[in-house]
A and B are shown apart, each in its own frame.
Chain A
């Protein structure tokens, strides 16, 4: 606290152009985007830009979250708002340079409309996005677009207002929707007779047609994902330009560690790794003990199958996580921090290593950080494919170079952790939220969410959903809002059966309970958990006996073998489930399964064993009839169902 914030902050950002560029191309280069061909696309765009003799910077960014539309390219030219293109191929990449930049034309069928929808029209309308959002057969987008273009032409507006079909507007089952650019004013349930009013009143007079206006606020709030898809994750200058490390510099120059902890307590942030322990309290408990060394660890061993939140944050904004780790270390008084990252995430490992190296060059890591007299070092330790290492004590064992066996708690890591020293272990998403909280204040964060579950939560929505993507919503949002409001509902209109949260430690939320607001307490009442944020949509073609066996098999494979309830209980239960799935089960088997579940919950040593029965219990609680059908139907039924599943047919037709 020897120097003031403004001075230090300015020195840190010295030499960086802070002014935003007005022309750029951003390519979503996360693992998902690269798998969809973003790497080749990026090269193609650079070639096209050079061939056109233009100077447009092509930048790599992380994922914006729209996994369904990978690869994503966002473009901004000097005289228009940013435009996001999805499902971009080579031909479209060429057209982006020649048409979008060359002739100022929007490209049909690939634009993802802005979720920041306007309510007033202040500037002349330059473009109209059209999308038929109704779920019935027959896409009327093209027909409607032509009618709108014809109407515009009649009013002599054909050259000044473009009409293009959109890929997605983030609105579903609301008839024909149009979005006016650049204001973002969006109309839904538009009928043919509304066309002339849209042109005469909204385009020409700039008045908003209130009866058509989509005035619902965007259900998403981006705090953790604030910079994902915006900054170049491999360039610290770009991160600093967007305000990264401001919270850290503020804390280091103007706040005591106790003040940082108080801010975290005010924010109400709870651990986003699953258990939901209050972060401020965890830091306080780690700060209190007197020790010669203390450690902070970022748990990036995202092992839940079907979850990619942490990967997306690490790949899209590693600096947010590093800044969070720095703040945790400062608050606790730790001089060394570790990122424990899965070896299966090579790109995340690479980008975090680059973030650490670049932060060191800027003096944010190392000795006497920014002249404060405080020293801190950060390093990466790789996981090696063991789910149990997400458990705190097993993770510590793994960093120490041992096999990942959990230890009984207490003592908790906050007292006796890495090499027996007080250690705070925080999840990626938790740490990524910390800088925002320190920069904006605990109260600002606490305004989001509910009374007991504050702030926002990132979910990776996948499975049988129309638009698989990453969403960040305030706590208290319902599952139905996420699946239907944000992700467009189910795939192929097969009715939803349930939504699985929390991975192999969680449970299934059945369709009738989808209106439950998401909080730690509500999910646990339903027999599931918040978990790290995987959200898997299952429809009526998914057999719950099969799903329960899938998750249980995962836990059986991943059991470390140390304690008997988990090692033997899990295995025996799996045998019973497989027996039922073959049509050889008896009603007594169900009772036995329940008893084994109880024993595992009570007697297992660590979280893995205690929660491994959750998917099975949850399936039994809400879908017992499916188990009974197997038992009653016997082997003929089991064979019929197995065949239908292998062919991907609707199970309802079979039974």
Chain B
């Protein structure tokens, strides 16, 4: 990876510096804290920026390679910024049997992106998840923080349109 394009750690935004300092401070006396610190960084930024990892390596003495080993192993961690609104299709078995693949296909064609991608206007990010444990309401979608259950393929357009209208009125 090319590190030359990145700013030296000392030139990072003070706010980012502070957040990582706080995290490291809070977890410093706990064994095996790396994953928990990464969770906090991702909760803060929505993903784990490379600069934070560099700084984290410096602060904790954990080699950058080790940090990236963990980041790339676990599905939950993201390395790039995501779109503003997240649409997550549950791909658990119950949802799969009840047509989650059809839902995903509909979302992909309506948004013009594949699973794991973000729309060009950075408005939508589409992803799948193993199982959200709401099998009683399958097939289910998570739109931002809200779970929508028993979704019919015909409802997909409405769900997308509602967010678009919200965004338009905000502007």
Contacts and interface: CB of A to CB of B under 8 A. Distances in A.
Interface of A: 31-32, 34-36, 67-68, 70, 302-308, 311, 343-345, 379, 381-387, 398-404, 419, 460, 462-464, 468-469, 500, 503, 534, 536, 538, 542, 550-551, 554, 560, 646, 648
Interface stretch (B5-13, B89-97, B110-118): B89-97
Given A305-B92, A306-B93, A344-B132, 9 more contacts: A31-B132, A35-B147, A67-B135, A308-B134, A385-B130, A386-B75, A401-B35, A462-B94, A468-B94
B133 A400 contact: no
Contacts of A401: 31-36, 70
Enumerate the 6 nearest inter-chain pairs by beta-carbon distance, A residue then B residue, closest first.
A67-B136, A384-B74, A35-B147, A306-B93, A385-B75, A401-B34
17 contacts: A32-B136, A67-B136, A67-B137, A305-B92, A307-B135, A344-B130, A344-B132, A345-B133, A385-B130, A387-B130, A402-B69, A462-B135, A462-B136, A503-B93, A534-B93, A542-B97, A550-B93
Interface in B56-72: 66, 69-70
A70 B69 contact: no
Interface of B: 30-36, 38-39, 66, 69-70, 73-77, 91-94, 96-99, 102, 129-138, 140, 146-149
Contacts of A302: 133
A384 B39 contact: yes
A305 B73 contact: no
Contacts of A404: 73-74
A468 B33 CA distance: 39
A35 B97 contact: no
Contacts of B137: 32, 35-36, 67, 70
B60 to A, nearest CB: 10
Given A305-B91, A538-B97, A384 B77 contact: yes
A315 to B, nearest CB: 9
A352 B136 CA distance: 23
A14 to B, nearest CB: 33
Nearest to A550: B96
Contacts of B31: 400-401, 419
A306 B102 contact: no
Contact of B148 (A35, A311, A403, A542): A35
Contacts, number: 137
Contacts of A303: 130-131
Contact of A469 (B32, B33, B75, B136): B136
B35 A31 contact: no
B130 A382 contact: no
A305 B134 contact: no
Nearest to B102: A646
Contacts of B136: 32, 67-68, 70, 308, 462, 468-469
B32 A304 contact: no
A382 B133 contact: no
A305 B147 contact: no
B79 to A, nearest CB: 13
Contacts of B77: 384
B94 A536 contact: yes
B62 to A, nearest CB: 8
Given A401-B35, A536-B94, A31 B70 contact: no
Contact of A382 (B30, B36, B66, B97): B36
Nearest to B37: A401
Contacts of A308: 131, 133-136
B78 to A, nearest CB: 11
Contacts of B69: 402-403
A303 B69 CA distance: 21
B92 to A, nearest CB: 4
A648 B97 contact: no
Contact of A386 (B73, B91, B140): B73
B139 to A, nearest CB: 11
Contacts of A534: 93
B97 A463 contact: yes
Nearest to A70: B136
A118 B112 CA distance: 58
B93 A400 contact: no
B147 A536 contact: no
B131 A304 contact: yes
Contacts of A400: 31-32
Most buried by A among B34, B38, B77, B92: B92
Contacts of B30: 379
Contacts of B138: 462, 468
B102 A384 contact: no
A384 B99 CA distance: 26
B92 A306 contact: yes
Given A343-B39, A503-B93, A403 B131 contact: no
Contact of A381 (B36, B75, B93, B147): B36
Contacts of A36: 137, 149
Contacts of B130: 303, 305, 344, 385, 387, 554
A464 B76 contact: no
Given A305-B130, A401-B70, A35 B140 contact: yes
Contacts of A386: 73-75
Contacts of A34: 147
Contacts of A384: 35, 38-39, 74-77
B134 A35 contact: yes
A500 to B, nearest CB: 7
Nearest to A387: B130
Contacts of B91: 305
Contact of B73 (A307, A403, A419, A646): A403
A399 B136 CA distance: 31
Nearest to A336: B31
A404 B70 CA distance: 8
Nearest to A554: B130
Interface core residue of A306, A386, A403 (most chain B CB under 10 Å): A306
Nearest to A35: B147
A35 B77 CA distance: 24
Nearest to A551: B93
Contacts of B66: 402
A386 B35 CA distance: 13
Contacts of A379: 30
A419 B32 CA distance: 9
A629 B33 CA distance: 53
B151 to A, nearest CB: 11
B135 A468 contact: yes
A190 B59 CA distance: 75
B93 A500 contact: yes
A149 to B, nearest CB: 33
A481 B44 CA distance: 48
Given A67-B136, A386-B73, A307 B35 contact: no
B68 to A, nearest CB: 10
A503 B69 CA distance: 28
Nearest to B38: A384
B35 A381 contact: yes
A296 to B, nearest CB: 15
Contact of A306 (B32, B36, B38, B94): B94
Nearest to B140: A35
A561 to B, nearest CB: 9
